[in-house]
Amino acid sequence: MSKKNAFYAQSGGVTSVINATACGLIETARQHKDKIGKVYAGRNGIIGALTEDLIDTSKESTRSIAALRHTPSGAFGSCRYKLKNPEEDRTQYERLIDVFKAHNIGYFFYNGGGDSQDTSHKVSQLSKAMGYPIQCIGIPKTVDNDLPITDCCPGFGSVAKYVAVSIREAGFDVASMAKTSTKVFVMEVMGRHAGWIAAAGGLAAENEGDAPHIILFPEVPFRKTAFIKRVKECVKKYGYCAIVVSEGAAYKDGTFLADAGGVDAFGHKQLGGVAPVVAQMIKDATGYKYHWAVADYLQRAARHIASKTDVDQAYAVGKAAVEFALQGKTAIMPTIARVSNDPYKWKIGQASLVRVANVEKMMPASYITKDGFGITKRCRTYLSPLIKGEDYPPYKNGLPQYVKLKNVPVRKKLNTDFNI
Amino acid sequence: MSKKNAFYAQSGGVTSVINATACGLIETARQHKDKIGKVYAGRNGIIGALTEDLIDTSKESTRSIAALRHTPSGAFGSCRYKLKNPEEDRTQYERLIDVFKAHNIGYFFYNGGGDSQDTSHKVSQLSKAMGYPIQCIGIPKTVDNDLPITDCCPGFGSVAKYVAVSIREAGFDVASMAKTSTKVFVMEVMGRHAGWIAAAGGLAAENEGDAPHIILFPEVPFRKTAFIKRVKECVKKYGYCAIVVSEGAAYKDGTFLADAGGVDAFGHKQLGGVAPVVAQMIKDATGYKYHWAVADYLQRAARHIASKTDVDQAYAVGKAAVEFALQGKTAIMPTIARVSNDPYKWKIGQASLVRVANVEKMMPASYITKDGFGITKRCRTYLSPLIKGEDYPPYKNGLPQYVKLKNVPVRKKLNTDFNI
């Protein structure tokens, strides 16, 4: 049993390119059949490993695996499920090792954000301690762009592109309606803790007067007076005002703007997001007619407008994960290392999982303009290459052709249930 | 002064392809400089004519005009402004004729929905009666797809494509999260009176189980019990439920679902649209975790995912408008006539404005499934060709390159103000 199988799982919120990582990983593993057996995927992430619900990716055709590169979402299912701290409860880790042993799994590839890197790290430590060492490679993925060491996170670039393109397009729309109708447009984007995604909207504003005119970041305490003043200035100067607001925008005391509204007739907290709150606030203060949009999942699922840079990087970290494993490495994560800005060049680097786990990379203060409503040139230099290039999926009948895998289960070998 | 100038204006809500119509019109007029003088555009639609605020499109380069084909929104500004009924007040029409006389305008091209066709019709009648006959050509445009006679309306196909692509992508996303997280996704789309846009979402559901699983149409009175039952069935059967809801979805008594919520702490009517209302209703009845999106202007501005069929047709009606005018026609509107479904073929037809004005084309009952939650095969046959083909704009630095015109004003000749 010298040739070990591999386990791969997708974790947390999915992205439009996490399957490109799966594609890179599986295609590369298939090129090394002499060293790696089968790639088993966890159905619904790590839950698949805990419940011994494994998917045999060898049953998928070459063509289907290739199509993962242009298919958004998590093809094997993802989950929001955090393993307990092993100092409190080792049961889950013991179960993982049992399942890995039963299926001759020697490689653990975990594709996710900060929590997932922490899990990979713990699995690597415990498996060794428990006498069944496994090579653990964390693979970066998060639209939040908040993993440390890596220059950027696969998944982010495509959301960034979606947001920049969308606010540019909506800006053009509002500009043409402003004379007699809508003067203010508010677009809500993801990012509860960090403003990376909101900042990306700023890329659309290449020239004076371009949308967006205002960005509301989670990093900048919301000041209503200054905000309304700026909105009025924009309408006066440009005829309209286009705003990108992060779902995490908050007052100085930490109250989210989204939570600062009222309750509905049933006593529920207001249903909506932050966009309608901001829009209504402007209406009350100025009387301007408004429209608002909440992109929600559309932004992170929008494979149709993915960034080529992002797709390439997502594929590359999947490929690198297998190559690192074949080199005998463990407890590391492939990273994106920026070589140069102009022309943009990058290469694969590596980070020790212990240095990645539980560290959140915040947006530098130097990326936000002094007034708190825009991005600096430095921010633009950082963000701009990440949205570069288009990588359109194939279309049929006007619709993108995304693959649904067969996801054939691996026959169970353990006769024990495990409660998750 | 045998060679007359032309007036062109954009009216009502803009679309991602109305500028393609402007492109077709201006490029075609430029090919007939022996017969048509300059094309003057109304700044902010018909208001530009009333206030003698005309734009000289001859000042724009060939390249800029060509770029209109891939630029969303209204390049000259649009407006929501309806002329008064001439039987009540002829002042506005008299003013139009004065402006047209002053600028030697013999062609009136008005690009809009039902109201605009009505206006074109009235201008044609009155100008004749007032001794300064003008050739009036209405040009169809509306994302609502509700103009009669024409098989479809330029602007609709691209929104349809955006909605179908977006719900497919979001469906993939939710499917991968459903095990431990979001089980229900609700996407709100435009269409206050007719369900054409919501129906287009149904195109994404090509196979059993595909998103969207439920569509809520304005045409079908909302029945909560049946709806919740269906949501539960979908979650049981497919693991999740993806819903497209029209902003016009309403109860039997006509109350919009969007208005059926409560008031906030300040006594405002609920801020949000219908998506959060529907999502919360599901949450209350089932406990399922939900996400929702409101696409709003993003859907009609999304030139990046425009339908090639739509772009081609938008261009063609602009071109045809000029050609009709050169043939001496007036009081007509170019239409899209469907020649065959498979392969899809279409040609330009024409409709008398008197037959177009004030007629709203509703979605046939035969397009909605008996249960009221989906589209029929017949509907699919009608809609499918309209989203076919991609027509990507050029990109630079990861962003679509849309043109902003110079919009040089024409020197005023009348020394009179006009209050609008």
Peptide bond into A154 cis (omega under 30): no
Q: Which residues of A are catalytic?
A: 144
Residue B131 structural domain: 4-141+305-359+390-400
Q: Are residues A164 and A297 in the same domain?
A: yes
Tell if the CB–CB gap between A399 and B165 is shorter than 8 Å: yes
| Same domain, residue pair B77 and B104 | yes
Question: Same structural domain for residues A137 and A166?
Answer: no
SS3 of A154, please?
coil
Which of B301, B334, B350 delimits the end of a domain?
B301
CA of A214: how far to CAs of A167, A205, A250, in Å?
11, 10, 15
The phi, psi pair for A399, rounded to 5°, reads -120, 145
Pick the residue of B165, B313, B406 with the most A CBs within 10 A to test the interface with A by mutation.
Answer: B165
Distance from CA of B35 to the nearest CA of A (A): 30
Res. A263: pLDDT tops 70 = no
Q: At residue A262, does pLDDT exceed 80?
A: no
Residue with tokens 């969207």: B212
Query: DSSP readout, A282-300?
Result: HHHHH---EEEEE-THHHH
B399 vs A172, A204, A397: nearest CB: A204
Q: Please, are residues A185 and A168 in contact by the beta-carbon 8 Å criterion?
A: no
Residue A84 sits in the same domain as residue A41: yes
**Same domain as A47, residue A102:** yes
How many beta-carbon pairs under 8 angstroms link A with B?
A: 253
Chain A hits for B182, Cβ within 8 Å:
297
Residue B20 lies in a domain: yes
Chain A residues with CB-CB distance to B164 below 8 A: 398-399
| pLDDT reported for residue A269 | 53
Say if residues B267 and B201 touch (Cβ distance below 8 Å). Answer: no
**Using a CB-CB distance cutoff of 8 angstroms, which residues of chain B are in contact with residue A402?**
168-169, 172
Chain B residues close to A304, C-beta within 8 Å: 165, 169, 305
Q: Is A180 on the interface with B (CB under 8 A)?
A: yes
Flag whether residue B172 sits within 8 Å of chain A, measured between CB atoms.
Answer: yes
pLDDT tens column, A192-207:
889 999 999 999 999 9
Q: Which residue of A has its CA nearest to B307?
A: A398
pLDDT digits (tens, 9 = 90+) for B43-79: 999 999 999 999 999 999 999 999 999 999 999 999 9
The CATH number linked to B39 is: 3.40.50.450
Could you read off the pLDDT of A360-410 as tens digits, one per residue?
Answer: 999 999 999 999 999 999 999 999 999 999 999 999 999 999 999 999 999
Query: Are B296 and B331 contained in the same domain?
Result: no
Which pLDDT does position B272 carry in this prediction? 62
How many domains is chain A partitioned into structurally? Answer: 2
Q: For residue B4, give the nearest of B44, B34, B25 by alpha carbon.
A: B34
* Same-domain check for residues B182 and B269: yes
Q: Looking at residue A192, what is its pLDDT?
A: 86
Contacts of B75 (CB under 8 A, 6+ apart): A176, B10, B19, B22, B41, B68, B403, B404, B405, B407
A368: helix, strand or coil: strand
Q: Which of B296, B309, B311, B401 to mutate to test the interface with A (most CBs of A within 10 A)?
A: B296
Domain boundary, last residue among B266, B281, B301: B301
B79 touches chain A (CB under 8 A): yes
- Most B CBs within 10 Å, among A21, A68, A304, to test the B interface: A304
CA nearest B42 in A: which residue? A176
How many Å lie between the alpha carbon of A260 and the closest alpha carbon of chain B?
Answer: 10
pTM recorded for the entire structure: 0.97
Residue A363 placed within a domain: no
Answer yes or no: do A67 and A203 share one domain: no
The per-residue pLDDT for range A156-214, each reduced to its tens digit, is: 999 999 999 999 999 999 999 999 999 999 999 999 889 999 999 999 999 999 999 99
CA distances from B66 to A204, B329, B333, B355, B395 (A): 22, 26, 23, 33, 15
Task: Provide, rounded to the nearest whole percent, the portion of chain B with pLDDT above 70.
Answer: 97
Find which of A173, A203, A299 to mutate to test the B interface (most B CBs within 10 Å of its CB): A173
Is A406 a domain residue? no
Q: Which amino acid is at A180?
A: T
Residue B329 pLDDT > 70? yes
* Nearest CA-CA distance, residue A288 and chain B, Å: 15
**B165-186 in b/e burial notation, b at 16+ Cβ within 10 A?**
bbbbbbbbbbbbbbbbbbbbbb
Indicate whether B257 belongs to any domain. yes
| Residue numbers in B near A187 (CB within 8 A) | 298
Other C-beta atoms within 10 Å of B132: how many?
15
Residue B389 dihedral angles phi and psi, to the nearest 5°: 85, 145
Confidence of residue A260 (pLDDT cuts 50, 70, 90): low
Query: Closest Cα of chain A to B264: distance in Å?
Result: 4
DSSP A269: B
pLDDT bin (cut points 50, 70, 90) of residue B192 is confident
Residue B267 above 60 pLDDT?
no
Q: Using the beta-carbon criterion (under 8 Å), do A173 and B73 form an inter-chain contact?
A: yes
Which CATH number is A208's domain given?
3.40.50.460
Least confident of B7-16, B151-160, B251-260: B251-260
Q: Does the residue B394 lie in any domain?
A: yes
CB contact under 8 A, B303 and A77: no
Nearest to B303 by CA among B143, B77, B169, B80: B143
Closest chain B CA to residue A386: B398
Is the pLDDT confidence value at A268 over 80?
no
Name every chain A residue with its beta carbon within 8 A of the beta carbon of B290.
none
Distance (Å, whole) CA B315 – CA B11: 16
Does residue A318 belong to any structural domain of this protein? yes
Is there a domain that residue A223 lies in? Answer: yes
Residues B251, B125 within the same domain: no
Q: Is B266 on the interface with A (CB under 8 A)?
A: yes
Question: Does a structural domain hold residue A336?
Answer: yes
* Tokens describing residue A81: 């499920």
Q: Pick the catalytic residue: B98, B115, B144, B146?
A: B144
Q: Give which of A140, A210, A221 is closest to A175, Cα–Cα.
A: A210
Q: Which of residues 378-407 of A touch B (CB under 8 A)?
A: 384, 386-390, 392, 395, 397-400, 402
Residues B55, B75 share a domain: yes
Please, which pLDDT band fits residue B417 given cuts at 50, 70 and 90?
A: confident
Establish if B141 touches chain A: CB-CB under 8 angstroms. Answer: no
Q: Which residues of A touch B298 (CB under 8 A)?
A: 166, 169-170, 187, 293, 295, 298
* Statement to judge: residues A177 and A295 lie in one domain: yes
Of the candidates B290, B254, B299, B249, which has an alpha carbon nearest to the alpha carbon of residue B273?
B249
Residues B294 and B314 reside in one and the same domain? no
The CA distance from A187 to B109, in Å, is 34
Name every chain B residue with its beta carbon within 8 A of the beta carbon of A11: none
